[in-house]
Each structure stands twice: as C-alpha cells, then as structure tokens.
Amino acid sequence: MTAVEVIFWAAAAAIVYTHAGYPIVLWLLTRLRRRRTSPAPGPLPKVSLIIAAHDEETVIAAKIADALALDYPREQLELIVASDGSTDRTVELAREAGADLVLELPRTGKLATQNAAAAHATGDVLAFSDANATWHRDALRKLVAPFADDAIGYACGQVRFLGQGGSNQEGSYWRYELALRAMESELAGITAGNGAIYAVRRSAYVPLGPASSHDLVLPFLLHKQRLRSVYVPDAVAEEKMVASNEGEFARKRRMMRGIYDEVVGDGMLSPRGYRPLFAFEILSHRILRYATPLLHLIVLVANLVLLGEGWIYVATLIAQVGLLAAAALATVISLKPLRLAQYYVLTTASIALGLVDRIRFGTPGAWEQAEGTR
C-alpha cells in the first residue's frame, strides 16, 4: 500500500469513525461500565437563573413569566436579566415583568454579559437560559438535582425544537446528538451542553473570553478541575428552530467562528488534566468532528491522485460526488435523504467557513437575537 493510499484510508476511516463508529464504541463501553448510582436528594439550593438578552422586547416578558411559573420555591430563585446593550424596551419590560435584578450593560457580547450577571448572582447554582426558550414547569428542579453530588460541576437539560416542518434537518441530528450525550454522561461526562437550559456550580464558574461559549468550554474546563458534567434528559426546554438548512448553516457558521479559540486557546486540544475516558470522548466527538472538513479535503485530493489504481477509487470518487450532487438537488427536490445530505454538507462547510471568518474578521464578540435562531 502506497503512502497516498494510507492517507486516503486513514482520513476516510476517521470521518466514518467520528460519525458512526464512535456511537457504537460508546454504546459498548457504557454497557461494560458499571452504572453510577444517584445520590440521595438534598435540600434545594438557591439558584440564580440568568438570561442574557440583546433586543429581546418581543419575548422577554414571556420568558420571565415562564421562569416565575417554575415549580421552584420563589425564595430560592433569583431571576437575573442581563441586557447586552439593548436598544429596544428589553430592560423596561424585564423590570415590569418581575425580574429580581436587571443589569443594563454596554454592548460587549454574550459571554461578557453572562460574566457580569454571574458576578452579581447570589445563588449556589447558576442556571442559564436563552430568552426565547420555554422550560417545562419541573425543569429547574430536575436540572439542579445532580448538584447534590459534590462531584458534579455542570448539568444541561434536553432541548426540544418547535417548528420542525421546514427543510432544516437539525431535529434529526439533535436526536442523534442527545443519544450520544446520554451515553457520555453515563461514561465520563458530556463534552458539550446547550444554551437553552444548563447550570453550573457557582463556586466552579469560570469567566470566559468573548470567543468562547459555555456549551463547549465549561464541560472540559470543569473536568480538568475534577468535576463532572452531566446530561439531565428530564429537564426539558423548548425553542423555535430555524426553518431551513440554509438558515441553520448561517447560524452554525456564526457559532463556528469561535471554534479555533475554544479548541486551541481555551485548551480543549491540550491533554493536560484529562482522564483517559474523557480524553477518548473529546477526541472522538469534538476534535475529529471539527477536523471533518480537512479530512474530507484530504480524502478528495488523495482519491483524485489514486484514480487509475483500481475500481475501488472510482467508486469512492463517485460516492463523494454523489453526496455533493444530493445536497445540490435538495434545493429543488424536497426529499428527506436529499435534505439530510444537504444538512451534512452545509454543517461540515460551516466549520471551515467559520474558521475563515475568524481569520478575516477576528474574534467574535457581538451576538444575534435568539428569536428564530435558537
């Protein structure tokens, strides 16, 4: 086997492994590993529920009403709205709706806004939610229950998406992602959360820079502090989903602009502090996933070089071209397999283009409204 063949098959195997092989290996490991026992429930902690908002006048009052309707003792719940330079009536409406603390901050970005809110919070647990997310009535009780275990530093709930009738296949991907998350939680801890419903132990909270995100960075940083991050599927939130694959691509491209800073700058790529099982999860689910655009490029170039070396390389090139053709056809033929192909191609491209945007425009800071964008 030539060097080019080794490169081709190694890159192809890495793509298949991160998307299909890893779930199988993860499933086997969770079956072999002894199940963890949940600690006895303790007294409910005081929780500061933080909502970062920028120009959210259309949803902020409903969000506060949703939070105040939670099945959680009112004296144990501090509701904080942090406005990131809102130019509409967000601040006024948040105060009228009954928020305990409303911070009127200059436009500095979502992370800086969350950091400021966390500095003012008095709760033992900091919970975070998007302004356009609605929580089931028992969601907060379920979300904070794992913190009875001192080894837990972070917990995220389950997001269910509303409005899945469009072309966007994020719902299909999200079901796959949640299945992985449940197994990772059981094994060594989740490698990512979500912005709609999550919580962190206040004593473990780490202020992050503007290019970072709690979703991706807190789980591995807290792991390096010997704290586990868990998935709580019974803590349910709902959010509106972008209607199309193209809209989802734009959203993901914005998100991926900070990937370099999170993977390299914040230390995801550094093995220091990782225990073996969590390092396996990070490599399989995060690093290889973010390397997928480069791996696809390697496979394509190597495949072109290998044409003439046997029928198998003609077949693999046809498969690659077929994937791109299916993605293109999805714009004119609304069939689920074609839409799934389009979703995969656009999601993979968003990782590469997010890095290009990072190089061209620098570190991201400002953020978009939550409504319609998750």
Q: Which residues pair with 231 in a beta bridge?
A: 156
- Residue 248's pLDDT is 78
Three-state SS at 175? helix
**Which pTM value belongs to this model?**
0.90
Domain ranges across the chain = 47-243
Does the pLDDT at position 116 exceed 90? Answer: yes
- Residue 73's pLDDT is 96
Arithmetic mean of pLDDT over the chain = 90
Q: Residue 120 and residue 127: Cα distance in Å, rounded?
A: 13
Strand arrangement, sheet containing 101-105 = 101-105, 77-84, 47-53, 125-129, 198-201, 152-162, 228-240, 134-135
In the predicted model, what is the mean pLDDT of residues 228-243? 89
CB 156 within 8 A of CB 232: yes
- Residue 167's pLDDT is 56
User: Tens digits of per-residue pLDDT, 317-336?
Assistant: 999 999 999 999 988 888 88
Provide the CATH topology of domain 47-243. Spore Coat Polysaccharide Biosynthesis Protein SpsA; Chain A (3.90.550)
Q: What proportions of the chain, in percent to the nearest 5, are helix, strand and coil? A: 50, 15, 35
User: Tens digits of per-residue pLDDT, 163-210?
Assistant: 655 555 667 788 899 999 999 999 999 999 998 999 999 999 999 988
CB 111 within 8 A of CB 14: no
Q: In which band, very low, low, confident or very high, does the pLDDT at 374 lie, cut at 50, 70 and 90?
A: very low
- Residue 5's pLDDT is 96
CB 113 within 8 A of CB 105: yes
- Residue 179's pLDDT is 94
In the predicted model, what is the mean pLDDT of residues 252-272? 85
Where does the chain have alpha helices with state H?
A: 3-16, 22-32, 60-68, 90-97, 110-120, 139-144, 170-187, 214-223, 245-256, 259-260, 276-281, 288-290, 292-306, 311-329, 336-361
Does the pLDDT at position 363 exceed 80? Answer: no
- Residue 202's pLDDT is 96
- Residue 362's pLDDT is 81
- Residue 365's pLDDT is 60
Percent of the chain with pLDDT over 70: 93
Percent of the chain with pLDDT over 90: 73
User: Tens digits of per-residue pLDDT, 78-115?
Assistant: 999 999 999 999 999 999 999 999 999 999 989 999 99
Residue 103 Cα distances to 83, 95, 354, angstroms: 6, 10, 31
